[in-house]
Structure 1
Amino acid sequence: MPTYELSAALAEAIVGVSNGAGVRTTALLTDMNQVLASSAGNAVEVREAGAVPDRRISQSSSV
Structure 2
Amino acid sequence: MRILYLLFPFILLLVQGAAGSSLAPRNKEQCHREKGFCGFLKCSFPFIISGKCSRFFFCCKKIFG
TM-score by length of 1: 0.29
Higher relative contact order (CA 8 A, sep 6+): 2
Structure having the higher Rg = 2
Which structure has greater helix proportion? Answer: 1
Which structure has greater strand proportion? Answer: 2
TM-score by length of 2: 0.28
